[in-house]
């Protein structure tokens, strides 16, 4: 299958189509790299969630007096922080994978991407992406505290900041400004794109949620705490599906990012002209 040139100006629907085509085309190497680099952390996260949810259902069935409340709160905090870290790790993984992909495309290489290549890009961006992600989270949360609307605005305006860190090597502060400049004049279009993409992925997520919903309602109606194995399996399927769909969402954001860049900078067109010049020079 012919590689996808991400450096192209694309419309709303074309960007979503390219997102799913990219995941379909790269499914095997993407899944292999995900299994090596991300899956162990996902399993730890889902294992903690299974214990937390089992405890909450047990609390609902047995009542609060029979439960160590402080222990439940502590487990909830640990689980929440672990989930945030996995989300960050998945985002770093996807951006690094796309970076390797674009490098391969520019060099006209057709070999499959390996986990080692993705890891090398990740290891070089761990600190900066973590820094910009924490700053992004803080700004959005503060914006939501003050009248909520500023939080929505900043969530969209700074959504490309981590991508500028990985794809352009910008600093944490410079990436925020670059993201806002790229989104300027496109804020409503980008918001609509993100909402439609999330609606599509949200509909797909119900497939992964069915086993957990069965366990939840079974426990609620029977007034019995679910078994650790069925709870773990259902939550792992649900959580794994959510993280897989997060990968698709992040690819979709990257596709839109490159489309906006191409619209402003014509990077892909310039690269094609340069390649044509090299080809002509070689034939002379």
* pTM strictly above 0.85: no
Is the pLDDT confidence value at 75 over 60?
A: yes
**Confidence at residue 276, expressed as pLDDT on a 0 to 100 scale:** 47
Reported as a pLDDT band with limits 50, 70 and 90, residue 281 is very low
The residue written with tokens 């079974």 in the block is 218
Domain spans of the chain? 12-279
What does the pLDDT look like over 237-280, one tens digit per residue? 777 888 889 999 999 999 999 999 999 887 555 455 444 444 44
- 8 Å CB contact between 100 and 121: yes
The DSSP-derived string for 243-259 is: HHHHHHHHHHHHHHHHH
**Confidence at residue 48, expressed as pLDDT on a 0 to 100 scale:** 77
Residues whose CB falls within 8 Å of the CB of residue 52, separated by 6 or more in sequence, listed in order = 72, 75, 76, 79
Average model confidence (pLDDT) across the chain = 83
C-alpha 50, offset from chain centre: 22
């Amino acid at each position: 299958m012919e590689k996808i040139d991400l450096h192209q100006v694309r419309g709303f629907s074309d960007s979503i189509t390219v997102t799913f085509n990219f995941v379909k085309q790269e499914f095997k190497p993407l899944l292999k790299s995900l299994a090596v680099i991300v899956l162990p952390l996902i399993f730890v996260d889902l294992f903690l969630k299974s214990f937390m949810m089992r405890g909450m259902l047990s609390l609902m069935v047995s009542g609060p007096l029979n439960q160590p409340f402080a222990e439940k709160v502590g487990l909830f905090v640990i689980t929440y922080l672990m989930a945030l870290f996995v989300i960050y790790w998945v985002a770093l993984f996807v951006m690094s994978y796309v970076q390797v992909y674009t490098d391969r495309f520019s060099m006209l290489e057709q070999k499959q991407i390996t986990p080692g290549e993705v890891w090398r890009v990740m290891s070089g961006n761990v600190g900066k992406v973590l820094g910009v992600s924490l700053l992004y989270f803080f700004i959005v949360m503060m914006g939501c505290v003050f009248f909520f609307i500023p939080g929505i605005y900043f969530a969209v305006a700074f959504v490309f900041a981590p991508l500028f860190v990985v794809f352009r090597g910008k600093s944490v502060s410079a990436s925020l400004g670059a993201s806002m400049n790229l989104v300027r004049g496109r804020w409503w279009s980008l918001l609509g794109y993100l909402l439609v993409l999330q609606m599509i992925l949200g509909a797909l997520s119900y497939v992964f949620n069915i086993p957990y919903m069965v366990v939840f309602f079974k426990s609620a109606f029977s007034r019995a705490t679910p078994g650790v194995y069925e709870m773990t399996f259902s939550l792992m399927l649900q959580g794994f599906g959510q993280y897989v769909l997060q990968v698709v969402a992040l690819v979709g954001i990257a596709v839109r990012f490159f489309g906006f860049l191409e619209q402003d900078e014509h990077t892909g067109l310039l690269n094609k002209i340069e390649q044509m010049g090299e080809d002509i020079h070689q034939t002379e």
